[in-house]
Amino acid sequence: KNQVEQSPQSLIILEGKNCTLQCNYTVSPFSNLRWYKQDTGRGPVSLTIMTFSENTKSNGRYTATLDADTKQSSLHITASQLSDSASYICVVVENTGFQKLVFGTGTRLLVSP
């Protein structure tokens, strides 16, 4: 069964600190992997999209990595800010020709002052 698992489920860090969120997947055939940020009560916003051949992709203070061999991805947040408090969702897209997205359950991050 195609699944996406994220860890930890929730995380509290102090403002200014770094953190890393993990994503493991079993989705096959693989097309691409996306990280989304979702503020409470809002729609998800895309942070990065990575294809099979990409190992690292950055978007400001967000850096995503992908190891397609071990089917693992991580999202590293540098110098966290209060506005980083949100849910971070890992999404793997199946290679079907359609928009077939498999969602992780997300990591809820709280940045504390």
Partner 1 sequence: KAGVTQTPRYLIKTRGQQVTLSCSPISGHRSVSWYQQTPGQGLQFLFEYFSETQRNKGNFPGRFSGRQFSNSRSEMNVSTLELGDSALYLCASSLASGDYNEQFFGPGTRLTVL
Binding test (CB under 8 A) with partner 1, winner from 5, 95, 110, 112: 95
CB of 43 to partner 1, least distance (A): 3
Strand 10-14 versus strand 107-112 pairing type: parallel
Distance CA 81, CA 95 (A): 35
State yes or no: residue 42 binds partner 1 (CB under 8 A): yes
Q: What angle do CA 13, 72, 45 make, to 5 degrees?
A: 60
State yes or no: residue 98 binds partner 1 (CB under 8 A): yes
State yes or no: residue 7 binds partner 1 (CB under 8 A): no
Q: Indicate the residue among 41 and 113 with the shorter CB distance to partner 1.
A: 41
> Which string of b and e fits 91-106 if b means at least 16 CB within 10 Å?
bbbbeeeeeeebebeb
State yes or no: residue 69 binds partner 1 (CB under 8 A): no
State yes or no: residue 53 binds partner 1 (CB under 8 A): no
State yes or no: residue 68 binds partner 1 (CB under 8 A): no
> Can the peptide bond before residue 44 be classed as cis, meaning omega within 30 degrees of 0?
no
Q: Given the rule CB under 8 A, which residues bind partner 1?
A: 31-32, 34, 36, 41-46, 49, 51, 89, 93-101, 103-106
